Amino acid sequence: QKEVEQNSGPLSVPEGAIASLNCTYSDRVSQSFFWYRQYSGKSPELIMSIYSNGDKEDGRFTAQLNKASQYVSLLIRDSQPSDSATYLCAVNKDNYGQNFVFGPGTRLSVLP
């Protein structure tokens, strides 16, 4: 079992719809969780972090964490073509940083 798993996609949604991206992780002691966006040929860009169970909202983005189910998700409301990118889920397994693990990423395509 991989440490962090994501659907590879591509996930296609029409413009204006809600895009839902999912991530599961294997290590129960994981401490913190992050979503990065990566445009083709570019480096990852941090868009959301979440540390406790529940929802965290930032503009059109909502991160959801369920530690009991070892599941974290990212919702993008009112999706725009500019949201088309690969979304990487990352999990911090401790507070020292060297156990920071990325998932393979989900490619999102928002269709005009």
- The residues pairing with 89 across neighbouring beta strands, listed in sequence order, are 35
Using alpha carbons, select from 97, 67, 73 the residue that is nearest to residue 18. 73
26 binds other proteins (CB under 8 A): no
Using alpha carbons, select from 30, 95, 97 the residue that is nearest to residue 66. 30
22 binds other proteins (CB under 8 A): no
Using alpha carbons, select from 76, 106, 75 the residue that is nearest to residue 4. 106
Stretch that binds other proteins, among 14-22, 45-53, 63-71, 73-81 (CB under 8 A): 45-53
> How near is the Cβ of 33 to other proteins at its closest, in Å?
9
Site for other proteins in 52-81 (CB under 8 A): none
> How near is the Cβ of 17 to other proteins at its closest, in Å?
25
Stretch that binds other proteins, among 13-21, 53-61, 65-73, 96-104 (CB under 8 A): 96-104
Cα 108 to Cα 106: distance, rounded to the nearest angstrom? 6
**Which of 18, 46, 59, 66 is the binder for other proteins (CB under 8 A)?**
46
SS (H, E, C) 13-67: EECCCCEEEEEEECCCCCCEEEEEEECCCCCCEEEEEECCCEEEEECCEEEEEEC
32 binds other proteins (CB under 8 A): yes
Residues in touch with other proteins (CB under 8 A): 4, 32, 34, 42-46, 49, 88, 90, 92, 94-105
